[in-house]
Chain A
Amino acid sequence: MLELQILLIFMIIGALIAVKAKDLLSSVIALGTVGLGLSLAFLILKAPDLAIAQLVVEILCVIILIRATIKKDLPFSTSGRWFFNTIVTFVFLIVFLSFAYFCIKDLPQFGKPIMKVSQFFLNQGLRQTGATNLVSSVVLDYRAYDTLGEATILFTAVVAVLAVMRRAGRKK
């Protein structure tokens, strides 16, 4: 678990740099290191499917963000209502932490999940579907209806991007 904690500290440092950096491009790159750390954490926790998806989507998002920010060097506006913002942040932190304190007590211990449903897939998955990748057998066989919904979401996203970004929609 030590390597996981080192990765978490690395990700927190990357996120702090991403928030605090004056330059927009270096902020995007720092955000990319956070995603890389998260994919490595998934790999350490033995979820290679998730690690691949996280890494790939992170690369795509960073490419889009860099593409969107590479030409303009927008300075961050740090002045303004910092007092109000700080108060709101602290209130939300206190509310979140007090709710989290009661919720986290009831969670199972880290690394010891409750295997009520997933044990069935582990026992029966290979025999019933014939796929050796258990994640794939859940995504495309047991829960294929969810995958259909996911595909619909992506289609809707493309349509929405087209609708917002098309030439007629941008006229003032």
Chain B
Amino acid sequence: MNTQEPGMTLIVKTITRLTVGLILLFGIYIVSHGHISPGGGFAGGVIIALSFIHIMLAFGKEAAFKRINQKAASFFESLGAIMFLTIAILGMVSGYFFLNFGMKGEPFELFSAGTMPLSNIAIAFKVGSGLFMIVVILVLLKIDKKEEEK
């Protein structure tokens, strides 16, 4: 076991380098096709968060923060919440709260079902960055504890 470098062994790092892009891509697919196929904002957001957590477990927390730092995560969380509320209140303008005012479109098309894809993306931002933040907080707590013991 190499204790100098942060993170896990070489095998885990190599596999992570190969798979983490595919995991992120699959999360984006689940989010963007949430209104057509099974999935949706919650599951896709968790998959996107898991791809960053995967980097953090394999390479240490600095490598994950290079890609998305805490400020960006909190920005995305707020962005998701505000996007979702904006969609809700825009529905109020032309009718009632959460009116699906967009174009219905053809079934099975990517751009269909009105505001649903936008809501999915908003929830994915919110859930993904929120869960990433929770894991980051728990991991930072462990590192702090280790420093206190030293």
Query: A residues engaging B (CB < 8 A)?
Result: 48-49, 51-53, 56-57, 59-60, 63-64, 67-68, 71, 126, 129-133, 135-137, 139-141, 144-145, 147-148, 150-151, 154-155, 157-158, 161-162, 165, 167, 170
Contacts and interface: CB of A to CB of B under 8 A. Distances in A.
B15 interface: no
A154 B135 contact: no
Given A59-B50, A145-B97, A137 B35 contact: yes
B38 A63 contact: no
A131 B119 CA distance: 13
A63 B36 contact: no
Contacts of B77: 155, 158
B142 A67 contact: yes
Contacts of A157: 130, 134
Given A130-B112, A141-B116, A161 B134 contact: yes
Given A56-B43, A130-B104, A137 B113 contact: yes
Instruction: Give the size range of B's interface with the partner.
Output: 35 or more
Contacts of B37: 132-133
Contacts of A64: 134-135, 138
Given A136-B35, A137-B35, A155 B120 contact: no
B89 to A, nearest CB: 11
Nearest to A126: B107
B60 interface: no
15 contacts: A52-B43, A56-B47, A56-B50, A130-B107, A131-B113, A133-B34, A133-B40, A140-B40, A145-B98, A154-B126, A155-B81, A155-B126, A158-B133, A161-B138, A165-B141
Nearest to A130: B104
B28 interface: no
Given A56-B43, A60-B49, A165-B140, 8 more contacts: A51-B38, A63-B135, A67-B138, A132-B108, A135-B40, A155-B126, A165-B138, A165-B141
